[in-house]
Amino acid sequence: MPKQIKKREHTKSEKAGAALAIAAMILGLFFAAALIAFIPELETDSRSIQLTKAVILACGYCLFVLLAAASGVFSMFAYRRSHLIGDMIRGFFSFLSAFLALLCIRFMLAMFFSGLDKNDLVDKVVGDNSYAQFIKDQGASFACLIIGLSMMLIIGIISIVKLAKR
């Protein structure tokens, strides 16, 4: 009779890292949907942004960055204990996703302060350019944010598969 190979149980840090990656993925999807719904207002070259939209986007952005970084931390703790390369890769890409999202912080600050009607703070964030020119110049940082959101989507799907397998 063949021997049964027992599957290794997930450690607490592995489960936490995967769960945080899934939470970051779900939050990232909601944040991306809110951002897509908000894009037509950005194209009007107007500084008047609704307060509720600005707060929703700012909270979604902050929570996404924090969850992605927390997923990276717990995944690295899991890697230190288990030495599984999958945990290290999930941690690395979670950190990378949080870093790429942080590259878009000026864009998010400008939108948030615009929603609060703090034009003097918007001018400090925007700098010497006009607000319309600032929005047009944020294409690279906006692309980094989209890449970070996409990476968390892939990491979240992989984490769902990992947790569902065992």
17 inside domain? yes
Residue 126 has pLDDT above 90, yes or no: no
Residues 6+ apart with CB under 8 A from 37: none
CA distance readout (Å), 24 to 2, 60, 119, 123, 124: 42, 10, 32, 31, 30
pLDDT for 46 equals 52
Q: What is the mean pLDDT of residues 134-143?
A: 82
Bigger pLDDT: 115 vs 5: 115
pTM, rounded to two decimals:
0.83
- 145 domain-assigned: yes
Asked if the structure places residue 5 within a domain, the reply is no
Average pLDDT over residues 70-86: 87
Q: 37-46 — which CB contacts under 8 Å span 24+ positions?
A: 38/111, 42/111, 42/135, 45/131, 45/132, 45/135
pLDDT at 139 over 60: yes
Is 107 part of any domain? yes
In a domain, 19, yes or no: yes
Q: What is the mean pLDDT of residues 91-104?
A: 92
Confidence class for position 133, pLDDT limits 50, 70, 90: confident
Q: Is residue 2 part of a domain?
A: no
Residue span of the structural domain in which 116 resides:
12-165
- pLDDT value at position 166? 64
Task: Please indicate, yes or no, if residue 3 is contained in any of the structural domains.
Answer: no
Q: Is residue 63 part of a domain?
A: yes
pLDDT exceeding 90 applies to what percent of the chain?
Answer: 25
Tens digit of each residue's pLDDT (9 = 90 or more) over 31-76: 888 888 877 665 554 555 677 788 888 899 999 999 999 999 988 9
> How many folded domains does the chain comprise?
1
